[in-house]
Chains A and B, each alone.
Chain A
Amino acid sequence: MKLLCLILSFVVIKAMAQPNCNAYLYYGDTLKYKACTIAEKRQGYYQFSKEYQKALDEALAVDPTFAFAYEVKSTAYLKSGDFVTWFQLMNKAVALDPKEHLPYRGWCRYQFFRDYEGAIQDIERLDSLSKYDIGYSVNAEYHLHIARALCYKFLGQKQKAISIIENQLKAPNYNPGLFDYLHLGVLYWQENDLERAEASLIKQQEINDLAENRYYLGRVYLLQQNITKAKEQLQTAKEKYLKESRMTDPYTVHADKIYMKDIESALKMIQE
């Protein structure tokens, strides 16, 4: 139930991302109040549309320090692959309000651009500025410390990545994310710590049972030369893959995602 509440809370936060304009009025910032109400005109329009972008341009013309408008304006550029405009807009948002906008910039640098160093810098800066938990990725799938761990992994620092994930899983009141144990299991497997890899991947089954955890578990059993168990897991991975019970993202590709070719190659290894 905790996990559901957590996910819902983040979904709600993102759905209600438009600030309460009256709050600016309450604090006496009439300029930001005006910009905020103008930005509301974008609602009902698609992010890429002229109307959506124009409402935000008008809001920024009234108050160029309205950081929220830069971030929401940037999203269409991010999704269209225009990293130049996206980054310029996000730099403005972060310069004006780092605590509020570093989570989005840091996460997107990882998810969309595989800019591991940049993502680490943003998340670690956010951590240094935050008294409380630094929170989750914009799609609510990852705690930002888990994302940071994956960046270290892709920079070749696998032990550091393991340590960050282990610490996050031990953090008080932390509920494991949708893929935490999968990534941890893969890291253990890559580091040849097969017992821990097996335990993590089995734990993943309880949280979010996908083709990916079954595939990597099959690979662990292959290394342990337990052919029967390996075959069983790889067959299950294949079934799950065909039923689309696998890592899927509308925009990008998850770390440790597998494809049918991977499963078939592993099954071929058994036959040989």
Chain B
Amino acid sequence: MRAIRILSIMMILAMAQCRTQKSESEPRGSVGDIVFDPQTDDPNFSLCGSEEYLFQYFNSGKGIAIEGEKKGLEQQLFALFKNTKFKNDGYVRIRFIVNCKGESGRFRVLTSDLQFNENKMPSTVTEPLLKACKEIKGWKPLIYNEKARDYYQYLTFVIVDGQLKEILP
């Protein structure tokens, strides 16, 4: 019975891999692509691989990859915003690219209310979160075929009653 259970767990993990692994990363024009914008993006941030092919953070099968694990990231960000009272409630997603050296760039912001209706939150809400995101250190590159790769990552901040309540995913 124990062997069957272990087999079951292994199969689930294998299926998770099937869902997330791909033979190649997807070409540009895909959902969520971030193209370099000279007006807003740091020109010193560069990709190690092709602009055409980037991975997604979940292709590793292990979720967010950062020094100190997600707990360390949460502790750092919750401490930073402990005394901050935000003016708006809702979701703030910041999507960006982590390159093969663990550097981050090309940040894009999406906001909504708590019912997922898109809105334009004031910069007093988004700017501090964006600044904090840009200052995060310790991103680990995604390894595929023994080579460090560039990939998309995002963080979603959930604000309830003016307080930072969750950091996802």
Given the complex of chains A and B, what is the CA–CA distance between A84 and B63 in angstroms?
22
Known: A49-B30, A139-B16. A84 touches B11 (CB 8 A): no
Given known contacts A79-B56, A84-B118, A250 and B63 CB-to-CB distance under 8 angstroms: yes
Closest approach, in angstroms, between the C-beta of B128 and any C-beta of chain A?
A: 19
Tell whether, in the assembled complex, residue B30 and residue A84 are in contact, meaning their CB atoms are under 8 Å apart: no
Q: How far, in angstroms, from A257 to B39 measured CA to CA in the complex?
A: 41
**Nearest neighbor of A140 in chain B, beta-carbon distance:** B12
Q: Which of B43-51, B76-84, B130-138, B151-159 contacts A (4 or more CB under 8 A)?
A: B151-159
Please name the residue on chain B nearest to A88 by beta carbon. B116
Do A114 and B166 have beta carbons less than 8 Å apart?
A: yes
Residues of chain A within 8 A of B32, CB atoms compared: 48, 76-77, 80-82
Decide: B116 and A84 in contact? CB cutoff 8 A.
Answer: yes
Q: Decide if B147 is an interface residue (CB 8 Å cutoff).
A: no
Instruction: Report if B91 contacts A (CB, 8 A).
Output: yes
Q: Is B140 in the interface zone, CB < 8 Å from A?
A: no
How far is A64 from B117 in the complex, measured between Cα atoms in Å?
22
The number of residue pairs between A and B whose CB atoms lie closer than 8 Å in the complex comes to 129
Q: B116's contact among A1, A7, A83, A139, by CB below 8 Å, is which?
A: A83
B112 & A83 in contact (Cβ 8 Å cutoff)? yes
Contact A259–B22 (Cβ < 8 Å): no
A87 touches B16 (CB 8 A): no
Taking CB atoms and an 8 Å cut-off, the chain A residues in 82-100 that contact chain B are 82-84, 86-88
> Of B31, B61, B118, which is within 8 A of A250 by CB?
B61
The smallest C-beta distance from A240 to any residue of chain B, in angstroms, reads 13
Write the A1-38 contact mask toward B (1 if CB under 8 angstroms, else 0).
10110011001000000000000000000000000000
Q: Which residues of chain B come closer than 8 Å to A114, judged between CB atoms?
A: 158, 165-166, 168
Residue-wise, chain B 3-34 has the 8 Å CB interface mask toward A (1 for contact) of: 01101110111011001101000110111100
The answer to whether B95 touches A80, judged by C-beta atoms less than 8 angstroms apart, is: yes
Q: How many residues of B contact A (CB 8 A)?
A: 50
Please give me the residue from chain B that is nearest to A2 by CB atom: B4
Interface residue A248 (Cβ < 8 Å from any Cβ of B):
yes
- For the complex, give the distance between the alpha carbons of A11 and B12 in Å: 8
Of A82, A140, A248, which is within 8 A of B31 by CB?
A82
Q: In the complex the two chains form, is B31's CB within 8 Å of A48's CB?
A: yes
User: Closest residue of chain A to B117, judged by CB?
Assistant: A84
**A124 touches B (CB below 8 Å):** no
For window 114-169 of chain B, which residues contact chain A by CB distance below 8 Å? 114, 116-118, 152, 154, 156, 158, 165-166, 168-169
Q: Is A112 within 8 A of B117, CB to CB?
A: no
A53 within 8 A of B: yes
Would you call B88 an interface residue if the criterion is a C-beta within 8 Å of the partner chain's C-beta atoms?
Answer: no
Shortest Cβ distance from residue A104 to the other chain B in the assembled complex, whole angstroms = 14
Cα A46 to Cα B68 in complex, Å, equals 32
- Is residue B110 within 8 Å, beta carbon to beta carbon, of the partner chain? yes
Q: With the chains together, A63 CA to B159 CA distance in Å?
A: 38
Instruction: For the complex, give the distance between the alpha carbons of A112 and B158 in Å.
Output: 11
Q: Does A252 contact B (CB under 8 A)?
A: yes
16 A-B pairs besides A48-B30, A113-B91 with CB distance below 8 A are A4-B4, A11-B12, A47-B31, A49-B30, A50-B29, A80-B56, A80-B152, A83-B93, A112-B169, A114-B158, A206-B2, A250-B20, A250-B58, A250-B61, A251-B58, A253-B70
A-B contact pairs, 28 of them (CB 8 A): A1-B4, A4-B11, A7-B11, A11-B12, A49-B26, A49-B30, A76-B30, A76-B31, A77-B32, A79-B56, A80-B56, A81-B32, A82-B93, A82-B110, A83-B110, A84-B110, A86-B116, A139-B12, A206-B2, A248-B62, A248-B63, A250-B59, A250-B60, A250-B61, A251-B169, A259-B70, A259-B72, A262-B71
Interface residues in chain A, defined as those with a beta carbon under 8 Å from any beta carbon in chain B: 1, 3-4, 7-8, 11, 46-50, 53, 76-77, 79-84, 86-88, 112-115, 139-141, 178, 206-208, 248-253, 259-262
Chain B residues within 8 Å of A, Cβ to Cβ: 1-2, 4-5, 7-9, 11-13, 15-16, 19-20, 22, 26-27, 29-32, 56, 58-63, 68-72, 91, 93, 95, 110, 112, 114, 116-118, 152, 154, 156, 158, 165-166, 168-169
